[in-house]
């Protein structure tokens, strides 16, 4: 068997590796999570059966600051920042998408936490 034919599987794997690494992945870039931007707000939007809801609008509404609207990706994941100095306890999270109604919002990060990472998940139900 020629050397080229024996190496073909290796080269095919190398060429496919980058696309496999990102298939179905998210756009998370950890370098964006800096103290200068303030806490990161993230979570998942799912339907009542636990399936990801892509394209849902996630509203982060702080008491004394401008609201931020994020959009969930193919995994139902949303992620963003409001601004430094906004206490996570002062942020109300809600989700919406046409054809769905919000069933619940569950904050996984405990109230009073000063974590840089604040996870809140939303559940929507098809109407």
Q: Could you tell me the CATH number of the domain that includes residue 93? A: 2.60.40.10
d(Cα 25, Cα 37) in Å, to the nearest integer? 23
| 105 in a structural domain | yes
User: What's the number of domains the chain is made of?
Assistant: 1
| 82 in a structural domain | yes
| 25 in a structural domain | no
| 79 in a structural domain | yes
pLDDT given at position 34: 62
pLDDT given at position 126: 94
Task: Supply the pTM of this predicted model.
Answer: 0.72
| 5 in a structural domain | no
pLDDT given at position 28: 52
d(Cα 4, Cα 98) in Å, to the nearest integer? 54
| 115 in a structural domain | yes
For 50, phi and psi rounded to 5 degrees? 90, 5
- Where the chain has pLDDT below 70, the residues are 1-36
| 21 in a structural domain | no
Taking a C-beta distance cutoff of 8 angstroms, is the pair 5, 82 a contact?
A: no
């Amino acid at each position: 068997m020629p050397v080229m034919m024996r190496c073909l599987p290796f080269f095919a794997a190398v060429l496919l590796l980058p696309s496999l690494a990102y298939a179905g992945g998210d756009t998370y870039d950890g370098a964006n999570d800096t103290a200068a931007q303030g806490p990161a707000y993230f979570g998942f939007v799912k339907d009542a059966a636990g399936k990801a809801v892509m394209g849902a609008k996630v509203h982060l509404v702080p008491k004394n600051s401008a609201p931020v609207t994020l959009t969930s990706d193919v995994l139902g994941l949303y992620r963003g920042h409001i601004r430094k100095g906004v206490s996570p306890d002062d942020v109300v999270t809600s989700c919406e998408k046409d054809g769905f109604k919000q069933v619940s919002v569950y904050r996984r990060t405990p109230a009073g936490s000063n974590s840089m990472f604040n996870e809140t998940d939303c559940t929507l139900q098809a109407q």
